[in-house]
Structure 1
Amino acid sequence: MTDTPLYTFNKQEKLKSRKLLEALFANGKTFLVFPVKVLYMVVEEPLDFPVKVGVGASSKKFKRAMDRNRIKRLLRENYRLQKQPLHHFTTAHNKQVAVFLMYIDKALPDNKLLQKKMPMLIDKLITALGENNTVAH
């Protein structure tokens, strides 16, 4: 088996369910790895993929759709390249997670900054999910 399929970000991985998004924004936990705010929630009902991810940028801070789309593209791309530890953790612990990455800075992001922050963000998410695991049992 090759590692190439792991570097995809396909339709099953995208967080698109309105019900799941509303539940995530209402009941999800958050943490910050500036400039990205992370909302996450362990999902009980079965999903078609262990980790569902959505990305967003504020239209208040970024008036032009072109800028918002660029931010979302950068977030998705950096997540896609660095998601392996999260996927290994969720499959090993038999968890399903909904995650939303929200860019909150006022300036357009630099790809190098996001490349540096994404592994930190994923490590922090794994740690948070691990803590939930010990509390539940």
Structure 2
Amino acid sequence: MKNTLGKQERLKSKKIIERLYKEGISVKAFPFRMMYLQTEHTSDFPAQVGVTVPKRNFKNAPDRNRIKRLMRETYRLQKEIVYNNLEKPCVFMISYIGREEWKYEELYAKMEKLLTLFINDVKNKEDEES
């Protein structure tokens, strides 16, 4: 698996994003919150991801952009956690809910925790269904 985060792996569809926020399930590992939905999407990859940072918490665009860049990088380096454990295709949006900027190392550790929680939650849902 390539260690990239290409166009096919990014969540862009407005229809899917709307469905995600209406029907999605939330998982939190402060300062991140992930909304996810197991659904078919247009990509060949098992997951599509989007990242958001609220304007309410960070007024300056360069601050928001830096945090989004760090979030994408920490996800990119750890996406094999998700890819190796998903059976059904999935879309998710990762939001930054903290009010101050965190260091890269801390964000990396929290992203790992969030992705592990997400996989455990998905596996629990599949066990309940079967």
Question: Which TM-score applies when normalising by structure 1?
Answer: 0.90
* Corresponding residue number in structure 2 for 1:47: 42
Amino acid at match of 2:54: S
- 1:65 pairs with one of 53, 61, 75: 61
Q: How much does 1:107 deviate?
A: 0.4
Mapped to 1, the partners of 2:112 and 2:50 lie a distance apart of 17
Amino acid at match of 2:47: V
Matched residue of 1:89: which SS? coil
User: Contact 2:27–2:114 (CA<8 Å) still a contact in 1?
Assistant: no
* Corresponding residue number in structure 1 for 2:101: 108
Identity %: 36
User: Contact 1:62–1:68 (CA<8 Å) still a contact in 2?
Assistant: yes
Q: What is the total number of aligned residue pairs between the two structures?
A: 129
Matched residue of 1:60: which SS? coil
Instruction: Name structure 2 gaps, 5 residues minimum.
Output: none
Mapped to 1, the partners of 2:51 and 2:41 lie a distance apart of 22
Amino acid at match of 2:42: L
Question: Which TM-score applies when normalising by structure 2?
Answer: 0.94
Instruction: Name structure 1 gaps, 5 residues minimum.
Output: none
Q: How much does 1:63 deviate?
A: 0.6
Mapped to 2, the partners of 1:52 and 1:105 lie a distance apart of 23
Mapped to 2, the partners of 1:47 and 1:88 lie a distance apart of 19
* Corresponding residue number in structure 2 for 1:96: 89
* Corresponding residue number in structure 2 for 1:21: 17
- 1:120 pairs with one of 110, 113, 118: 113
* Corresponding residue number in structure 2 for 1:87: 83
